């Protein structure tokens, strides 16, 4: 996309936007001409990432500190920034911790995704990229694994990712 083009670039919301994957996607999307809005509750990221992104991108990205479980906040962000698509990276991510604190993982990962989907529906946003995990497959039945591989997560983290995939198939 030509930066001198006078048309308004589409805006992509990145949940978990200050995390490793989210921040790298922000740079690539920015370089491709998209406007990016980052939402992160900073539970797995550092605020200093905003400064690093500003240096790399040549401009400060829009950053909102908040939690995707706050549906009203998410509706506000989606509408205020005229978001046309969402890349969903937010969530708790440690397999071992998920075994110790499964309710936290179901609340954050599954509950947060439901909240985000409700906000998207209320805002008329219908494009979503969801970052799942190979943990949804569990122990390999065959190798190399592919998307046709049977699913059978062996920990709460993988179970949350599979539940989200099932929710997305249903909606």
List, in sequence order, every residue forming a beta bridge with 139; answer none if it has no partner.
Answer: none
Q: In degrees to the nearest 10, what's the CA dihedral of 113, 22, 159, 102? A: -80
Catalytic residues: 157
* DSSP string across 59-98: SPPEEEE--TT-HHHHHHHHHHTTEEEEEE--S---HHHH
Q: Which helix (H) or strand (E) holds 12?
A: strand 11-15
Neighbour tally for 52: CB within 10 Å: 13
Which of the 8 DSSP states describes residue 32? Answer: T
* DSSP string across 116-129: HHHHHHHHT---EE
């Amino acid at each position: 996309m030509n930066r001198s083009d006078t048309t308004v670039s589409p805006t992509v919301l990145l949940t978990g936007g200050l995390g490793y994957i989210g921040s790298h996607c922000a740079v690539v999307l920015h370089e491709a001409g998209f406007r990016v809005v980052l939402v992160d509750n900073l539970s797995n990221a550092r605020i200093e990432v905003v400064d690093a992104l500003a240096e790399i991108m040549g401009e400060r990205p829009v950053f909102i500190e908040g939690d995707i479980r706050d549906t009203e906040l998410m509706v506000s962000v989606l509408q205020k920034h005229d978001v046309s698509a969402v890349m969903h990276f937010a969530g708790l991510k440690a397999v071992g911790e998920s075994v110790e604190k499964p309710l936290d993982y179901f609340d954050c990962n599954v509950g947060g995704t439901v909240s985000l989907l409700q906000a998207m529906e209320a805002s008329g946003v219908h494009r979503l990229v969801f970052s799942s995990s190979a943990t949804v497959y569990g122990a390999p039945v065959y190798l190399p694994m592919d998307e046709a591989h049977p699913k059978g997560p062996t920990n709460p983290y993988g179970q949350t990712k599979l539940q989200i995939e099932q929710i997305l198939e249903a909606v």
